[in-house]
Structure 1
Amino acid sequence: MVGQPDDAIRVGNPERERAITHLNDAFATGYIDIAEFEERSGRVYESKTRGDLRSVLENLPVAASLFPDTPAAAETGVPVAPPRPVVFDANWETVRRKGTWDAPSNILVTGTMGTVDLDFTNAVIPTATVTLQLQVSAMTVKLRVGSDQEIRSTGLTTSGMSGVKDKAGAPTRPGGAVIDVIGSISAMTGLTIKRS
């Protein structure tokens, strides 16, 4: 493995957790088996530097996304910003995506008193993870996923009698994208997640 200029930078728990998430994705999509997952996971928690973590993910398709800054950015000291989110504004409106549609890797949903209905079942998803940030109040939000897609909503906060109904459960087969739902829902917003 070719060394990177920032290999000596120390890592903490956020970077280790990101590496574990990438290993989970690699296991779920069949790139590594359970024994290799366990071996690599142990090495993640022993890692002290970026170089250590990079070596754990070596030869996996997700390795390049471990650190969002590129080697060129590390050399210049200028951080590389994540991709700008595609904004769906549902302020007093309905935003619906279904059938075959191009799902961006970074989505921001905003609005009040509207409806958002996103069906990822047949969406074209070019990345392993879609970040779906919700900043909504008094809304109805519906998400539908396919049999191999996973929804994670641990980064989502709720307030003002808002709630999440996850009727999807775990994926029934491995290999699909992860939709990471983050942000906040408030003022009696209802988020419902279903599986096709």
Structure 2
Amino acid sequence: MEARDLRVSDAEREHVGELLQRAVGQGMLSLGEFTERMDSALAAKTRGELNAVLADLPGMQLNPAYGAGPYPQPAVPSAPVPVPVPPPAHPAVTGQSVPSNVIRGRMSTVTRKGPWHVPPTLYLDTRMGSVTLDFTEAVMQTQVVHVTVDDYCSSITLIVPPEATVDLNGVDAVAGSASNKVRTGPPYGPLHLVVRGRVRFGSITAKHPFGTALRKMLGT
């Protein structure tokens, strides 16, 4: 079997993602080309398919530690250069203005807390940042809120009231994590979050406010 026909691992796909980010930072790829090639890399099953997204980028090839391949293996700097990446092609975020139910972040910290108004649907469009959505004092329009996530390399935290429930089953974590530390449902309390979408090289966590478990133990 030729090297290009060998199956690839998540570590190899993540390595190629770092190389593509570096290529954007060096001006070799546009943001649109980055998105197309990143999607191809995440879907690649063989080393040949994975190398195809790098074939025309000088100095950008799979790390030799992942095995020999049919392409030359020039030295590549180990530290990735953080660069902004493009928004998704969702109709809600393609216009000039950002709708009120869209939360966007690019290499930044985004926080919603206190009595903020929560629409029935939310879209998180985030890149290489930190996002905290605190629903404990939020003004809800509906009991069930649908949250769609499109993220690269961010840390997303959902803080919900003690009786709330969260469903993270629709989240596709690619080289990342989705952690639910609260009850999943069915909805019976003041809030039920239904979260779906994709988290790439990042994390999403649903949890109660700090000290909730202790207050329950003390009956306060």
Per-residue CA shift, 1:91-127, capped at 9, x if unaligned?
1111101111111111111121111100111111111
After superposition, where does 1:16-95 map in structure 2 within 5 Å?
86-95=101-110
Q: Could you say which residue in structure 1 is the equivalent of 2:153?
A: 138
- C-alpha RMSD of matched pairs (Å): 2.1
Question: Which of 203, 207, 217 matches 1:190?
Answer: 203
CA displacement at 1:85 relative to structure 2: 7.0
Is the aligned partner of 1:180 residue 2:194?
A: yes
Is the aligned partner of 1:105 residue 2:145?
A: no
Q: Is the 8 A contact 2:181 2:208 kept in 1?
A: yes
Specify the SS of the correspondent of 2:107: coil
Specify the SS of the correspondent of 1:146: coil
Flag structure 1 segments of 5+ consecutive residues without an equivalent: 1-83
2: CA distance, partners of 1:165 / 1:183: 14
Letter paired with 2:153: A
Per-residue CA shift, 1:21-61, capped at 9, x if unaligned?
xxxxxxxxxxxxxxxxxxxxxxxxxxxxxxxxxxxxxxxxx
CA displacement at 1:169 relative to structure 2: 3.4
Q: Could you say which residue in structure 1 is the equivalent of 2:134?
A: 119
Change in Cα spacing, 1:135 to 1:170, as seen in structure 2 (3 Å) is: closer
1: CA distance, partners of 2:163 / 2:184: 9
Per-residue CA shift, 1:60-88, capped at 9, x if unaligned?
xxxxxxxxxxxxxxxxxxxxxxxx77111
Q: Is the 8 A contact 2:121 2:147 kept in 1?
A: yes
Q: Is the 8 A contact 1:87 1:108 kept in 2?
A: yes
Q: Is the 8 A contact 1:168 1:194 kept in 2?
A: yes
Q: Is the 8 A contact 1:130 1:177 kept in 2?
A: yes
Q: Could you say which residue in structure 2 is the equivalent of 1:35?
A: none
Identity fraction in percent: 25
Q: Is the 8 A contact 2:164 2:183 kept in 1?
A: no
2: CA distance, partners of 1:174 / 1:87: 26
> Which structure has the larger Rg over C-alpha atoms?
2
Flag structure 2 segments of 5+ consecutive residues without an equivalent: 1-98, 210-220
CA displacement at 1:191 relative to structure 2: 1.1
Q: TM-score, normalised by structure 1?
A: 0.52
CA displacement at 1:141 relative to structure 2: 0.3
Number of aligned positions between the proteins: 111
